[in-house]
Each structure stands twice: as C-alpha cells, then as structure tokens.
Amino acid sequence: MSSLRYPYVWLLVFFVAVGIGCASAELDDGDVDDGDAGHVDTTLPDTEPPDTSVDPCEDCADHEICFNDACVDPCVEAGAECGMAQFDGDQFDCGGCPAGACDEETNQCPDICGAFYAECGDIFWESSVYDCGNCAGSRRCRSNRCTDDAGYVAVAAGRAHTCAVTQQGSVQCWGRNDYGQLGNANLSQNSSSPVTVAHIGNASSLAGLNHHACVIRSGGDVSCWGHNSQGQLGDGTTEHSDVPVSADGVAAFSVATGGSHTCAIVDAERLRCWGDNDFGQLGNGTTSSEPHHDKDFVLRPGDELASVVDLALGTAHTCAVRRDNDAFCWGANHSGQLGLGHTQDGPATAERIGDLGPVHTISAGFNHSCAIAVGGDVYCWGRGDDGQLGDGEATNSSRPVEVQLSAPAIAISTGRFHSCAVTDGGDVFCWGANSRGQMGQGTTVGHFETPVPVPDLGDVVSVAVGGAHSCALHRDGSLKCWGDNEYGQIGDGTDSNERPSATGVTP
C-alpha cells in the first residue's frame, strides 16, 4: 500500500515525533549530575501552603495564664497585690506582702513606708532601700517623721544630762557637767538651762547615754566630749574634755555612745568601735581592761559585720540591726541583755538574736535592750527587776518578751531602769522604775511593769531616756522632759530633786 495514498498518516507521525523531541529538549538540560537527565518530572505541585501558625501562649511565664490568646497575670488583671483573687471564674493565689498584712477585702498591701509609719527618709527592708520622700518646705526629716523648722530636731539623754540639736545645727546641753559632758568649755559647772556646745554648728546626728556625748558633723566627722577614762572620745587620749574633740580617722553616717565606749556606722555600712572593752563590747573578738584607742571593725563569725543600718550601745553591750532586718548583740550578758537565751559570758563578736523576727530599730539601756519589730510590735529583754521589760513581770529575761502597747510603735529608748516608746499616733508610753518620777505620772511611787501613757504630751516624734529622766520631742520642735532633776537635766531652769510630770525645756 502506497504511503502517498494516505498523507494524513505521515503528518500524524511527524507531529508526534516533533512533540516528543521538544519535550525531551525542555526537560533534559544535559547536566547528568542534576538527576533529571533523560527523565520527565511528573510530580504535581503542592496545592496547600505549610502550617505556619504559632501558639500565642507558648511562652507564658509560670505566674501567667492564657486569656483571649494572650499571656496575662491574673493578679494584675484582677487588680490584686496579695491574697486570693478572682479572675475569669477561677481563684488565684497572689501571695503575701513584703511588710505588713494583706487587706483581704481589697487584696492590697500596705506600702513599705506606711508599714513603717514613715513620712520621709529611707526605710530598709529585705536588703532593699525604699525612699519615703522628702519633707515639704523647710521642714526636716527626723526618725522618718517631718518636723517643723523651729526648736529642736533631735534629743539624747545621758546619765544625768541632756543634749539636743537645734534646727540650725548647733547643739545645746544641760544638767550634770563634772566631766565636761555639757561641752561648753566650763568644766564642773552644772546648768539647769540649755547651754551651747562649743565649736559645733552643723550637727546631723547625736548620741549620749552615760557621761559623754558625740555628734556627726557635715562631711561625716565625729566629734565627742565629756568622760574619757577608756578612750571613748576617740582622740587617742584618756583625758576628759569639756569641748568637742575629733574622733581621729572616723567618717561616719551614724554614731552611738555607751557606758564607756563608742561605735559608728562608717563606709560600706560597717561598724567601728573604740573605748572600754572589758566585756567584748567593741566586737573585735577580744576583751581587755585597757583603753582601746583603735577604731576596730566589728566582727561576726567568719567575717565583718556589714550592711548595718541601726545601732545602740548599753553600759557594756552593743546591738545593731542590719539592712535585712536581722538584729545582733555582743558584750556583757550577766542579765541576759543580749537576748541569746542565756546569761553566760557574751560573745566578743556579733551574734544574731535568734528569737527575734525582722527588726526596724533597736535600743540598748544600761542592762536591758528593746526593739521595734517590723509592723510596730515592741520586744524587750535583759534586766527586768523594776519592770523595765514591760511584760507585766519584774524579772529578768534572756529572751525577747513582748510589750503590749495600744498602737504600733515608731520610736523607742531605754535607760537605766525604765523604757519609753512613741506610738504612731504621737503618744508616749513608759514602763519601769518610777522612784524619780520617770514615768511622768505626777508621782514618784513604785514602778510600772506594763506601759502607762504619759499625760500632757501629743504629736511626739521621738523620745530619749536617760539614767532616771526622760524627754519627748514634739513635731513642732518643742521639747518636754520629766523625772530626775538633781543636776538640772530637765532643762526648765531649776534643779529641784525631780519633775514627775512632763515639763517644757526653756531654751
């Protein structure tokens, strides 16, 4: 059969051949290494895109939940700072407060400054510093309270004398002066009215417990005057001084005086002490009956005691509070005044008081000690035969016992045989011996084993307790004292035996 008779057959063969050749040429690029040489790719393209969705709550923190495709803190959403909070039909634990109790109705914490009843200045809590602000206008911050620009801004009571810092930064003292403790360059002349301490015009901190006193001046210089038999003035001698002398080599933020020793908070919030060390009250790991002129750092087992924010000195013991609100004591302990649960010889290095919770401030008397805990509760320990521990007993206690007050305390001071505290309402309560009218009750009868309010006072910001007298500083800068007045330490211009009621100091 001739092919010319069926031309359409040859055309079909031609086109098929051409089509195969073109397809082969398009698919085979001649590269034998690319895997497609001589092959036709019959794979179909993907018809659906890959799944790229991400869980929006995949990275939520432990305290967060997934709500509306977002990580949220249920406590924040519920506006709760503490306690058990409701959110989205569930209940969540929002924890406790750093200081003070949670208000279960509002789920709010008291602010740190409020928990300490602080109007100004800094508060130390859980190794942190909280700024409670400044005082308005010309008012000054003292003991975390704002005081007016007139009168006094600080007061300290010694064995039989009193000193106070004026608003202008000068220091005035009155009372006994047989060792020069009035600092007015007039040795042995007592004064029943305030006299000005020589050469001091910029005092910022004041201390006086027994027969000497110290201040911190601008720049941190420490100056002291009065009794110096153990080198407690810090000038390298044992000579008494009726004018301030410099405590050589000490730049400090705060200072405290004891029976015959002195301590100061210096750089890095460490403590340096000097003077009498019979009972290890200097905290340097030794004891000695010789005057100690070196300003040694206070030690604790294995290290220096650091981060100190408050200190107090008794007759022969020392106490301090650290930034983490732990309290430490060292030195004499025959009455249990260290609060360690025994009356054995005290340590010559700082030892933590184990039976005491977080402490705001501390005070050391002649042979007893008291502290204000965070929240305003008061605890005392040591000698208590005159009721100076305030727990309703007239016995010693080597462990802290609670003092029942009608309101939280903001300031406290301990003396020879009595103690006083200021509550957050500005009232003053005292307990202990009253033979010289130091309770302010208008009598000199007996002693008081529980706190009694001192009449004719109000709006008080701080209190100072001496040998057998007490003084209260009012917010307006005025000062009232009561108790023993044999040497004129009340400051009203008289030297009668006692003033059993609060009496104004006559500038």
Which token pair is 330? Answer: 């060292």
Residue 41: inside a domain: no
Give me the CATH number covering residue 268: 2.130.10.30
- Can you give the pLDDT at residue 149? 60
Banded pLDDT at 119 (limits 50, 70, 90): confident
At residue 4, the 3 state secondary structure works out as: helix
Residue 130: inside a domain: no
Are 89 and 153 found together in one domain? no
Helix (H) or strand (E) holding 345: none
Rounded Cα–Cα distance for residues 58 and 126 (Å): 33
Range of the domain at 378: 140-504
Are 96 and 185 found together in one domain? no
Instruction: Tell me: pLDDT of 20 over 60.
Output: no
Are 101 and 221 found together in one domain? no
Residue 481: inside a domain: yes
Residue 22: inside a domain: no
Banded pLDDT at 25 (limits 50, 70, 90): very low
Least confident span in 32-41, 65-74, 335-344, 415-424: 32-41
Are 103 and 198 found together in one domain? no
Rounded Cα–Cα distance for residues 419 and 453 (Å): 12
Strands across the sheet containing 308-313:
308-313, 317-322, 327-331, 351-352
Are 188 and 74 found together in one domain? no
- Can you give the pLDDT at residue 137? 79
Rounded Cα–Cα distance for residues 462 and 146 (Å): 11
Question: Tens digits of per-residue pLDDT, 122-180?
Answer: 876 655 677 888 888 777 776 677 766 668 999 999 999 999 999 889 999 999 999 99
Instruction: Tell me: pLDDT of 370 over 90.
Output: yes
What is the C-alpha end-to-end distance of the chain, expressed in Å? 148
Q: Beta strand pairing status for 428-433 and 418-423?
A: antiparallel
Residue 250: inside a domain: yes
With a pLDDT cut of 90, the percent of the chain lying above it is 69
Instruction: Tell me: pLDDT of 270 over 50.
Output: yes
When divided into structural domains, the chain yields a total of 2
- Can you give the pLDDT at residue 339? 98
Are 499 and 448 found together in one domain? yes
Banded pLDDT at 17 (limits 50, 70, 90): very low
Instruction: Tell me: pLDDT of 14 over 50.
Output: no
Residue 198: inside a domain: yes
Banded pLDDT at 222 (limits 50, 70, 90): very high
Are 389 and 459 found together in one domain? yes
Rounded Cα–Cα distance for residues 461 and 112 (Å): 19
Distances (CA, A) of 67 to 25, 61, 64, 70: 59, 13, 9, 5
Are 413 and 328 found together in one domain? yes
Residue partners of 26: CB distance under 8 A and separation at least 6: none
Are 199 and 156 found together in one domain? yes
Instruction: Tell me: pLDDT of 100 over 70.
Output: no
Q: Are 281 and 253 in contact (CB under 8 A)?
A: no
Are 423 and 368 found together in one domain? yes
Residue 49: inside a domain: no
Rounded Cα–Cα distance for residues 449 and 464 (Å): 19
Question: Tens digits of per-residue pLDDT, 451-497?
Answer: 999 999 999 999 999 999 999 999 999 999 999 999 999 999 998 88
Are 183 and 322 found together in one domain? yes
Instruction: Tell me: pLDDT of 37 over 80.
Output: no
Helix (H), strand (E) counts: the chain: 3, 38
Instruction: Tell me: pLDDT of 50 over 80.
Output: no
Higher pLDDT, 95 or 111: 95
- Can you give the pLDDT at residue 38? 46
The predicted model gives 389-409 an average pLDDT of: 97
Q: Please name the amino acid found at residue 368.
A: H
Closest by Cα among 390, 415, 413 to 400: 390
Are 74 and 211 found together in one domain? no
Which token pair is 456? Answer: 């004719």
Residue 23: inside a domain: no
Mean pLDDT score across all residues of the chain: 88
- Can you give the pLDDT at residue 367? 97
From the number of C-beta atoms within 10 Å of its C-beta (0-12, 13-18, 19+), residue 127 rates as: exposed
- Can you give the pLDDT at residue 125? 64
Instruction: Tell me: pLDDT of 10 over 60.
Output: no
